[in-house]
Structure 1
Amino acid sequence: MAGRIVEEGLKFVAASSRNPGIGLAPSRIVDEGWHALILHTEMYADLCEQLGGRFVHHSPGYDPTNYDPPILDRTREKIAELGWEADAELWGPPSDETLASVAAKCQHAPECTIVVTPKPKPTVA
């Protein structure tokens, strides 16, 4: 499953890299694969160049409570134009049937901000 998710993340990066400014987005589960790629910044920058030449920036702000099928349809269409088939099971709408655990429960929703975790307080014995 992890391999499938990362593969779809790669397809998303390739489609986004070659189609800047048209509003593409990953499904919630594919977003996990994209996040895994982004964490390796040097490799990710090289990957963007190899897949299409443009760096695909991560712009938080998409609100998953506002499910927008046309964005996913447009993204799948751009993936198909590159000669790949999007994994329908991973590009579907959010559902209660979990294929894999999705860590980002809010997927870039405004109320999901990054918070610095405080250092643990020393324990007194």
Structure 2
Amino acid sequence: MTIATDQTASAVKNPRTLIPSWAFDLLVYDFRKKHHTSHAYTERVVGQTLVFLKAAGQIRREARRDPGAYVRIVPTRPVDEAWHEALQRTEVYLPMSLAFANSMIHHRPVMDDDIASGAALARTIPYLHRTGMYVDPEFWNAEAGSSCCPPECNDQGGREFLGSWEGRVADGPLTISF
């Protein structure tokens, strides 16, 4: 039994390996600067944010092949706080989104019954494990019903169509040349 547990633990990968070390260090620096957390905690929460975004990216890629494969997953409050910081570091966030999802991974703050009940988080955790990355239980267990967004933010159009850009940008897939 112990041997199986040790083998399982070694089979998962460190989320830090998902992006270049300089990019990881920038995300850690940004989070610590704003939240005044320990270095160890910050590295862990940033790592779990990367696991979440990797899972979201995998879902987006699958849903482009089969729209029925789309599943809504959600971060916990600490992971969402790190996501907010990552969104502001565009030189890291854009290439990371492209690497994980082959498109931008957008953030729409919303709190609804699916999140409040814990159903969304219960649905999320298996997708995190599918990434092959270490899923740190401190950031996912006992966090059901949490969100960065209070209920009053539902008027921000979390699930409604946001509208057209009326020819200001090209229709179709986003292509960025490097």
Query: Structure 1 CA distance, aligned partners of 2:141 and 2:75?
Result: 10
Structure 1 ranges of 4+ moved more than 3 A: none
Deviations 1:64-111 (A, max 9, x none): 9x523231122221111111231111112349xxxxxxxxx9622243
CA distance in 1, matches of 2:77, 2:112: 11
Selected match of 1:17 from 54, 57, 64:
57
Deviation at 1:63, TM superposition (A): 4.6
2:42, 2:117 → 1: CA distance? Answer: 25
Q: Output the TM-score relative to the length of structure 1.
A: 0.70
Q: Whole-Å Cα distance in 2 between the matches of residues 85 and 73 of structure 1?
A: 17
How many residues end up aligned between the 2 structures?
A: 105
For residue 95 of structure 2, the aligned residue among 46, 66, 70 is 46
Residue segments in structure 2 that go unaligned for 5+ positions in a row: 1-40, 61-69, 156-178
Q: Partners in 2 of 1:35 and 1:59 — Cα distance?
A: 11
**Distance change in 2, residues 1:41/1:63 (3 Å):** farther
- Name stretches of at least 5 consecutive residues in structure 1 with no aligned partner: 96-104, 114-125
Higher helix share: 2
Higher relative contact order (CA 8 A, sep 6+): 1
Normalised TM-score (structure 2): 0.51
- Percent identical among aligned pairs is 28
RMSD, aligned CA: 2.7
